[in-house]
């Protein structure tokens, strides 16, 4: 296969991943690495580099719109980015000493978790009552837009959220993914932010988290322009198309189907990891 | 809490959100255009070659450092131009953190200036040092 043919196919595959990622809200980043390694036989290190670059593009592109709508909690995002960037640096640092097949196994487990989360329904757990002391000192409580006007919410369990964000950062740096699933988990379930605030703030943080490990990857030669460019452009175009189609779609069924696909990919990654084929 | 904010503060917050949004959009757009332009030129020259991405080389080339990429761009190297677009993309969130740091400083919100500075430090360490 010539480079031109490969890049064309990569663009199409990445476009599909970005489209599905945006439609299901699960993000396309997690399936980019399996697409490149299992689908195109690319070395997992190049795949991780290309995936990370794509993650920065889509999260920044989407965050531009969400921030303006007023859902994103900038303070919560900024505070938790301390945990995710340091986590991402640790993950990228450790990645150099971990065998590729072990990375594939960890990747498979993270995908299985994402698939399981994708089947769950999301409910807001907004709490009212005495404000959390730490959240008050850090002035994290805020409001978000609802059809009935701005609604106030309180933030809880800041240390637990911070710790989970460190884990999200490590996974992002180790696997080249945005790890939005873990980020949303930390904010939605641990810190009790409204779901829409959690997803938009997570997306806001993903670009910075990914940029923290991207520098280290660049120096290590993980970012190969001939692979990273078509992948990044494909995911970006797919995600933008998906975001535009989103309002008129029933996404619940789509999420379930996608979760099954992600689970299948997870087993494929685990099999390849354990048999040492990656 | 937010209900207790002065209305000027809320308007201020909204202005920062607009600026952050515009910065992110412009960064991604410029990076994508530069990388795409470089990519077209690169493929025009090397499109018929056979790539071997199944083997990780990872040897240090000029494409692995900021200085090397800039030198390559100056020499009109097409691969370096693609990589320069990717570097611009990586720099976009970094610029966003710098912008929020300045916004917090103008508001004399020193706690969040320090928090932003820590994040900025981690990002610079990765991009420049490593």
Within a domain: residue B111?
Answer: yes
Using the Cβ of B127 and the Cβ atoms of chain A, whether some distance falls under 8 Å is answered with yes
- E strand or H helix that includes residue B71: helix B66-74
Domain that holds residue B111: 23-128
Q: What is the pTM of this model?
A: 0.92
Within a domain: residue B35?
Answer: yes
Average pLDDT over residues B46-55: 90
**Average pLDDT, 10 consecutive residues per value, chain A (278 residues):** 93 92 77 94 95 94 85 95 98 94 95 89 73 92 90 94 97 94 92 92 94 94 94 93 72 82 93 91
Compute the nearest-CA separation of A52 from chain B (Å): 10
pLDDT of residue A128: 75
Q: pLDDT band for position B3 (50/70/90)?
A: very low
Residue A142's DSSP bridge partners are: A153
pLDDT of residue B2: 41
Q: pLDDT band for position B59 (50/70/90)?
A: low
Chains A & B: contacts with CB separation below 8 Å: 211
Average pLDDT over residues B8-20: 82
Of A2, A174, A155, nearest to A79 by C-alpha is A155
Q: How far apart are CA A172 and CA A278, in angstroms?
A: 19
Average pLDDT over residues B71-87: 94
Instruction: Render pLDDT for A97-125 as a digit per residue (tens, 0 to 9).
Output: 999 999 999 999 999 999 998 888 777 76
Cβ-contact B118, A82 below 8 angstroms: yes
Distances (CA, A) of A190 to A159, A161, A168, A185, A224: 9, 6, 14, 7, 38
pLDDT of residue A125: 66
pLDDT of residue A24: 77
Instruction: Render pLDDT for B87-103 as a digit per residue (tens, 0 to 9).
Output: 999 999 999 999 999 99
Q: Given its phi and psi angles, is residue A249 left (phi above 0), alpha (psi -120 to 50 degrees) or beta? A: beta
Interface list for B 32-91 with A (CB within 8 A)? 32, 35-36, 38-39, 42-43, 46-51, 53-61, 63-65, 79, 82-83, 85-87, 89-91
Domains of chain A, residue spans: 3-274
Rg (CA), chain A: 18
pLDDT of residue B4: 41
Please tell me the total count of domains within chain B: 1
Contact A232 B86 (CB under 8 A): yes
CB atoms within 10 A of CB A9: 15
b/e sequence A123-132, b meaning 16+ C-beta within 10 Å: eeeeeeeeeb
What is the predicted ipTM?
Answer: 0.92
Q: pLDDT band for position B5 (50/70/90)?
A: very low
pLDDT of residue A249: 64
Token pair, residue A106, equals 């960890």
pLDDT of residue B123: 96
Q: pLDDT band for position B28 (50/70/90)?
A: very high
């Amino acid at each position: 296969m010539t480079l031109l043919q490969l890049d064309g196919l990569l663009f199409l595959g990445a476009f599909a991943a970005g489209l599905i990622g945006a439609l299901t809200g699960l993000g396309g980043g997690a399936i980019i690495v399996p697409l490149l390694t299992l689908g195109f036989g690319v070395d997992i290190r190049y795949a991780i580099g290309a995936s990370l670059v794509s993650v920065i593009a889509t999260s920044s592109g989407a965050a531009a719109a969400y921030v303006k709508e007023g859902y994103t909690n900038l303070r919560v995002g900024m505070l938790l980015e301390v945990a995710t960037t340091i986590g991402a640096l640790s993950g990228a640092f450790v990645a150099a000493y971990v065998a590729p097949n072990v990375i594939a196994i960890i990747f498979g487990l993270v995908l299985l978790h994402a698939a399981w989360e994708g089947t769950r329904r999301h409910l807001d757990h907004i709490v009212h009552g005495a404000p959390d002391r730490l959240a008050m000192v850090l002035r994290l409580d805020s409001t978000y837009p609802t059809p009935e006007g701005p609604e106030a919410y309180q933030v809880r369990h800041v240390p637990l959220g911070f710790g989970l964000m460190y884990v999200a950062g490590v996974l992002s740096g180790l696997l080249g993914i945005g790890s939005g699933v873990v980020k949303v988990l930390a904010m939605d379930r641990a810190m009790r932010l409204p779901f829409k605030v959690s997803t938009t703030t997570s997306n806001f943080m993903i670009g910075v988290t990914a940029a923290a490990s991207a520098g280290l990857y660049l120096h290590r030669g993980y970012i190969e322009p001939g692979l990273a460019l078509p992948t990044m452009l494909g995911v970006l175009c797919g995600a933008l198309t998906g975001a535009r189609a989103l309002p008129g779609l029933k996404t619940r069924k789509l999420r379930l189907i996608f979760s099954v696909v992600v689970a299948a990919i997870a087993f494929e990654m685990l099999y390849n990891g354990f048999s040492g084929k990656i | 809490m937010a209900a207790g904010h002065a209305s000027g503060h809320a308007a201020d917050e909204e202005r920062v959100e607009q600026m952050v949004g515009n910065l992110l959009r412009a960064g991604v757009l410029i990076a994508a255009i530069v990388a795409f332009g470089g990519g077209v030129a690169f493929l025009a020259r090397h499109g018929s070659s056979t790539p071997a991405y199944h083997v990780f080389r990872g040897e240090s080339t000029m494409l692995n450092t900021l200085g090397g990429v800039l030198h390559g761009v100056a020499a009109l190297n097409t691969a370096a131009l693609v990589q320069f677009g990717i570097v611009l993309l990586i720099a976009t969130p970094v610029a966003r953190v710098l912008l929020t740091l300045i916004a917090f400083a103008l508001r004399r919100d020193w706690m969040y200036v320090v928090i932003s500075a820590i994040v900025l430090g981690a990002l610079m360490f990765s991009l420049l040092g490593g």
